[in-house]
Amino acid sequence: MASILNNRIRGKNIVITGASGGLGEQLAYLCAKNGANLFLLARNKRKLDKIVATVHQQYAVKCTAFALDVSQGEQVKQVFLKIMKQAGTIDVLVNNAGFGIFAEAKNTDSADVEAMFSVNAVGLITCTQQVIPSMSKQQYGHIINIASQAGKIATPKSSVYAATKHAVLGYTNALRMEMSQVGVYVTAVNPGPIRTGFFQTADPGGSYLENVGRLLLEPEKVAEKIVRVMLSNKREINLPRWMNSIATLHTMMPSIVERLGKKAFFKK
C-alpha cells in the first residue's frame, strides 16, 4: 500500500458508505494509514467489523462501523445522528455505496430499476443531506461522490445504471456550486470498471469481465487517487484517462463515437 499521501486528513473524521469491500474497503485502509478517524457504513456488519479490526490492529486511529442500507431514509438519518454525536463533526463524506445490473432496457425488471435509483441516486442524496448543514455552518468539509464514466457516456445493457450515474453527476455539479459559497469542496469520481465484487451482481454470467478484464482498474490505485485530493478543491477525478477522453469526445461528436464504438459498447 502507498506511503503517506495526505497530511490534511490526519485527525479528521471521514465517513465512507459502501465500505464493506472493494473500493470502500481500500479507502478505509488508506485513510487510516494517513491518520484519519473512520466511520464505515454498509449493509454487511460482519464484513465491516473485520475491516474495523484490521484498522485497529494496524493503525492508531478511531474506527467505528454501522450497518446501513442507504436506500432506507430514516435509517440514514439515525446513523448520521449517531456519528455526529460521537464525532462532533464530519470532515469528509465519501458516497461510495452503489450497484448495477447489466441488462437491455427491454429486459430490465422494474424492481431493479427502483433499487438502483434508491441506492445509487436517492441514497447518495440522502446521505449528503445529513452533512450539508454542519459543513455549511463550519464552512469546511469535503463531499466526494463516486459516480462513473457511465455517468458521462451511456452504453448498451446499462441504461438504468447509466441513468443513475447521470443523476449523480447532475446532483454533484449543482451541489458543487452551492457549497462553494460556504467553503465546502465537492468532487465527482468517475472511474471506469474496477476490479471489485460489483460484477458479481452486474454481470453474473461473466461475459463482460471476460471481454474487458485486462482493462479493469485496481481498487487500491483508485483509492490512492481519491485520498490524495481529500480536503482540496478538486472538481473531478476521471479514470482511466483514455476512457474519459472517449466520453469527452462523445459530448462533442456523439453520433460519430456511437457509430465507431458500437461493437465495443455491446461487449457486456
Cα separation, 253 vs 268, whole angstroms? 23
C-alpha separations of 139 from 15, 90, 131, 136, 257 in Å: 18, 12, 12, 5, 42
Q: Which of 161, 171, 185, 208 is catalytic?
A: 161
- Per residue in 219-245, is it b (16+ CB within 10 Å) or e — as a string? bbebbbbbbbbbbeebebbbbbeebbe
Nearest to 243 by CA among 168, 162, 170, 150: 150
Cα separation, 130 vs 238, whole angstroms? 26
Has 161 been annotated as catalytic? Answer: yes
Name residues whose C-beta falls within 8 Å of residue 178's C-beta, 6 or more positions apart in sequence: none
**Cβ distance 44 to 18 under 8 Å?**
no
Active-site amino acid positions:
161
